[in-house]
């Protein structure tokens, strides 16, 4: 069975796109009819990109969990909502139906309420990839609290910064997490973080690894005990909080070009409509399909395409706790075979990494259930695309290359599986509702970049990617600092949302994202701000100054190259580099550790003191000769010295 708003032909795509541009409010109002509202929308859109202020479906009343749970628990109670596969292949998997998921969310919502959580409170979630993570998110949404999920790989300091920024009242965590053959001690990290966070009153701890942890009297409580108390009192149903369209649903922190991560805020109604619409259309989901998104719920991909998009569509979402290479590099394919996965959505990094193990781990597996493949998070190179197509899709599964961002909430540019054409390494066409524009650095729209998608052929264009009209899940603000939202996204080009990405458009109107044009790296699909990382490295007692650039990396897409001016004994460079890595792990988390650290005596700077990253980037890429104009440097000789000691 398909969905009434599912696009089923190329013509239908063009028609939907045209309508979304010509009559955007009518277009989205019709889609909104397929959701449960306490009060139906009349005001569809109000916006300006100057303040910026955007509201969608402003006068509705809703609760997103009613759309993700109650309506499916009624119409298809026994359909699996979540299939969970453990990190350990021998541990039993779990299947949670819509009826059961609703029940579990009702119980945990009551736990939150019993512990003083109220509408609008901020809750930090730092958990392993277990169904209780989705239950925690949905329960926050049910009581009207705003969740802020922090990825399990972040350090105590990063968590503390995020808790502090949002003044979180409560933390939901677990004793630990399994990741491959490692145990991550989540609770200890939370304990370290909370030393600095006075706003947190309670910590709810789920049992997962059974590692010894300390439970602080009056603050820490066990998830299981709390549930037991409620079951004993017989609370079967939790009435969802009535929410306004623009009430925040969640905060998700992401790195930018300045030092401090920012809390991207998404609101209830628009986010729900858009994640649902894109899920159904991009992947061409049919009721009963098993959808496997391999992302961690700590990132936007997990929020939108493990939890809210699939569940609001009554889909079966497969959640995997482990990593692709444990116990061996065939794990994804075992899971596909075991659960007859129909749609697989993963990152180019994972594909490149698995590709490096050869096809031995794939060939014997039965992958015939697969119908659609997807990628997200970074550009996919043609070699990886073809490997995915040949060895996983057996040349019969369309591949959707989905471009979007934490800030966009849902997929923005992508082919629709089997409906609009794919082109390797291109995200291809904008989705209905997404009005793209390419500009040069001076803000001049590039010739042909503004043409209608149907006027072919286009003139080739390459520039900075902007969006000129709001879509329902555009970020609403950056938490506690609206000015920052304005400056980061809406000020580079007046009246436009600036993505921070460079982009090329071919003669057929297909978009190819070429990468960030700001000081943000994309390492294995994770955003790392160079300024944030430099600040962390500079906290090492021996470091005087540092500069971070990206360089092409076979598996990660981009690797991190650090140039460090160090004061002190450099006899054992490896040891000093390990110390610096340890500092980064402490301050940000292991995901931000540089791949290479080069110790230098100086950095190429202009007379005004600005580091010429362009030169450092070229050196990191292996270039020695064509480094561009270095005559404006304060000390041009430093360049050859750095080239000479490159690692």
Work out which of 158, 405, 415, 436 binds ligand PRX, going by CB under 6 A: 405
Restricted to residues 483-512, the positions that interact with ligand PRX (CB under 6 A) are 499-501
Q: Is residue 300 near ligand PRX by the rule CB under 6 A?
A: yes
Helix (H, G, I), strand (E, B) or coil at 325: coil
If one asks whether residue 402 binds ligand PRX (CB under 6 A), the answer comes out as yes
Residue nearer to ligand PRX on the CB measure, 284 or 405: 405
Q: Count the alpha carbons within 13 Å of 256 in the hemisphere toward its beta carbon.
A: 20
Cα distances (Å, whole numbers) of residue 353 to 19, 346, 373, 402, 452: 41, 12, 17, 19, 38
Q: Which of 277, 404, 497, 511 lies at the binding interface for ligand PRX (CB under 6 A)?
A: 404
Q: Which of 110, 435, 477, 522 is in the footprint of ligand PRX by CB under 6 A?
A: 522
CB of 282 to ligand PRX, least distance (A): 11
Separation between Cα atoms, residue 644 and residue 623, nearest integer Å: 11
Query: How many residues sit in the footprint of ligand PRX (CB under 6 A)?
Result: 21
In the bound state with ligand PRX, the residue whose beta carbon lies nearer, of 45 and 521, is 521
What's the min distance (Å) between Cβ of 414 and ligand PRX? 7
Is residue 589 a contact point for ligand PRX (CB under 6 A)?
no
Q: What is the dihedral of CA 483, 484, 486, 491, to 10 degrees?
A: 120
Q: Tell whether residue 463 is a contact of ligand PRX (CB under 6 A).
A: no
Does 398 engage in binding with ligand PRX (CB under 6 A)?
Answer: no
In the complex, the smallest distance separating the C-beta of residue 301 from ligand PRX, rounded to whole angstroms, is: 5
Q: Is 115 exposed, middle or buried (0-12, 13-18, 19+ CB in 10 A)?
A: middle
464 counts as binding ligand PRX under rule CB under 6 A: no
**Contact stretch for ligand PRX (CB under 6 A) within 15-23, 51-59, 389-397, 401-409:** 401-409
- Cβ partners under 8 Å of residue 605, min gap 6: 611, 612, 633, 634, 635
Which residue lies nearer to ligand PRX by CB, 110 or 415? 415
Nearer to ligand PRX, 319 or 513 (CB): 513
* CB proximity list for 396: less than 8 A, separation 6 or greater: none
Q: Give the helix/strand (H/E) hosting 442.
A: none
Nearest-approach distance from CB 521 to ligand PRX, in angstroms = 10
Work out whether 353 is an interface residue with ligand PRX (CB under 6 A).
no
Phi, psi of 344 (to 5 degrees): -120, 130
β-bridge pairing 243-244 and 436-439: unpaired
What is the DSSP code string of 261-273? Answer: -EEEEEEHHHHHH
Residue 378 binds ligand PRX (CB under 6 A): yes
Tokens of 367: 């992958």
Q: How many Å apart are CA 24 and CA 46, to the nearest integer?
A: 12
Site for ligand PRX in 217-276 (CB under 6 A): 254
Residue 294 engages ligand PRX in binding (rule: CB under 6 A): no
Contact 189, 175 (CB under 8 A): no
Closest distance to ligand PRX from the beta carbon of 575 (Å)? 33
Instruction: Report the interface residues with ligand PRX, using CB under 6 A.
Output: 254, 300-301, 376-379, 401-406, 427, 499-501, 513, 516, 522, 527
């Amino acid at each position: 069975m398909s969905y009434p708003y599912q696009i089923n032909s190329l013509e239908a795509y063009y028609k939907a796109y045209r309508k979304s541009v010509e009559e955007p409010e009518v277009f989205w109002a019709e889609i909104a009819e397929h959701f449960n509202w306490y009060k139906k929308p009349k005001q569809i859109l109000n916006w300006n990109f100057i303040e910026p202020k955007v509201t969608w479906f402003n006068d509705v009343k809703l609760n997103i969990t009613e759309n993700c749970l109650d309506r499916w628990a009624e119409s298809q109670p026994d359909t699996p909502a979540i299939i969970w596969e453990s990190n350990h292949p021998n541990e039993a998997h779990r299947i949670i139906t819509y009826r059961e998921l609703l029940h579990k969310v009702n119980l945990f919502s009551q736990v939150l309420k019993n512990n003083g959580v109220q509408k609008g409170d901020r809750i930090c979630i730092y958990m392993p990839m277990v169904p209780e993570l989705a239950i925690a998110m949905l329960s926050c949404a049910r009581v009207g609290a705003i969740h802020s999920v922090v990825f399990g790989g972040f350090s105590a300091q990063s968590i503390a910064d995020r808790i502090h920024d949002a003044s979180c009242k409560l933390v939901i965590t677990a004793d630990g997490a399994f990741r491959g053959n490692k145990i991550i001690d989540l609770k200890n990290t939370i304990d370290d973080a909370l030393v600095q966070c006075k706003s947190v009153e309670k910590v709810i701890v789920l049992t997962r690894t059974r590692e010894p942890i300390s439970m602080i009297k009056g603050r820490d409580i066990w998830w299981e005990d709390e549930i037991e108390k409620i079951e004993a009192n017989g609370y079967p149903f939790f009435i969802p909080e009535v929410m306004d369209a623009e009430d925040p649903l969640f905060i998700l922190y992401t790195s930018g070009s300045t030092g401090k991560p920012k809390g991207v805020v998404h609101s209830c109604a628009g986010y729900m409509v858009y994640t649902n619409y894109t899920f159904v259309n991009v992947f061409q989901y049919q009721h009963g399909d098993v959808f496997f998104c391999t992302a961690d719920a700590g990132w936007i991909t997990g929020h939108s395409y493990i939890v809210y998009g699939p569940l609001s569509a009554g889909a079966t979402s497969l959640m995997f706790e482990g990593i692709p290479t444990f116990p061996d590099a065939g794990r994804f394919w075992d899971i596909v075979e075991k659960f007859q996965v129909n749609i697989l959505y993963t990152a180019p990094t994972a594909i490149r990494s698995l590709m490096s193990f050869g096809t031995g781990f794939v060939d014997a597996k039965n992958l015939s259930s697969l119908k659609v493949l997807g990628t997200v998070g970074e550009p996919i190179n043609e070699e990886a695309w073809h490997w995915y197509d040949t060895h996983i899709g057996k040349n019969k599964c369309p591949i959707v290359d989905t471009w979007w961002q934490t800030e966009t909430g849902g997929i923005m540019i992508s082919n629709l599986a089997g409906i609009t054409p794919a082109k390797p390494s291109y995200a291809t066409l904008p989705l209905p509702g997404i009005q793209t524009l390419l500009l040069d650095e001076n803000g001049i729209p590039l010739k042909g970049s503004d043409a209608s998608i149907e006027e072919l052929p286009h003139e080739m264009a390459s520039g900075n990617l902007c969006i000129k009209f709001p879509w329902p899940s555009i970020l609403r603000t950056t938490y506690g600092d609206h000015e920052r939202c304005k400056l980061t996204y809406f000020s580079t080009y007046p009246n436009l949302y600036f993505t921070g990405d460079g982009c090329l458009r071919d003669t057929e109107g297909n978009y190819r994202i070429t990468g960030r044009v700001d000081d943000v790296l994309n390492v294995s699909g994770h955003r790392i701000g160079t300024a944030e990382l430099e600040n962390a490295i500079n906290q090492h007692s021996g470091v005087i100054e540092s500069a971070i650039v990206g360089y092409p990396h076979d598996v990660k897409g981009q690797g991190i190259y650090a140039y460090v001016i160090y004061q002190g004994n450099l006899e054992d460079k490896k040891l000093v580099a390990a110390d610096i890595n340890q500092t980064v792990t402490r301050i940000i988390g292991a995901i931000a550790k540089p791949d290479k650290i080069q110790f230098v005596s100086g950095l190429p700077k202009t007379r005004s003191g600005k580091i010429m990253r362009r030169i450092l980037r070229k050196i990191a890429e292996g270039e020695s000769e064509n480094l561009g104009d270095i005559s404006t440097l304060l000390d041009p000789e430093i360049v050859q010295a750095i080239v000479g000691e490159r690692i």
